[in-house]
Amino acid sequence: EIVMTQSPATLSVSPGERATLSCRASQSVSSNLAWYQQKPGQAPRLLIYGASTRATGIPARFSGSGSGTEFTLTISSLQSEDFAVYYCQQYNNWPPRTFGQGTKVEIK
């Protein structure tokens, strides 16, 4: 089973600043990686798939990069609505389709 490790667990950022979130896979997942955003009391929302492709309706300030075992989600200029928990998920080798433990982006 592929283990996904996200860092940091919590990221404190001021509005307007850049946020950089990391996700590492225990073995290569090629570019078969997705990022999700989850706000309190809501279901996760797909942000990025294929490591770098934004899902429909996702603002351009969200970008994904990486391949193999190292991935990054960057939010270029944090807006108030971006404070949430972010999860990565691999779908290269499944089952299972594993998620990371999440990174909480909070207001500094």
Partner 1 sequence: QVTLRESGPALVKPTQTLTLTCTFSGFSLSTSGMCVSWIRQPPGKALEWLALIDWDDDKYYSTSLKTRLTISKDTSKNQVVLTMTNMDPVDTATYYCARTTVVTAYFDYWGQGTLVTVSS
Per CB under 8 A, residues contacting partner 1 are: 1, 32, 34, 36, 42-46, 49, 55, 87, 89, 91, 94-102
Pairing verdict, β 10-13 and 103-107: parallel
CB-nearer residue toward partner 1: 13 or 55: 55
Q: Which is nearer to partner 1, 19 or 85 (CB)?
A: 85
Minimum CB separation of residue 17 from partner 1 in Å reads 25
The residue (of 1 and 16) whose beta carbon lies closer to partner 1 is 1
CA distances from 78 to 8, 14, 50, 59, 71 (A): 17, 7, 23, 11, 19
* DSSP structural state of residue 107: E
- Closest distance to partner 1 from the beta carbon of 42 (Å): 8
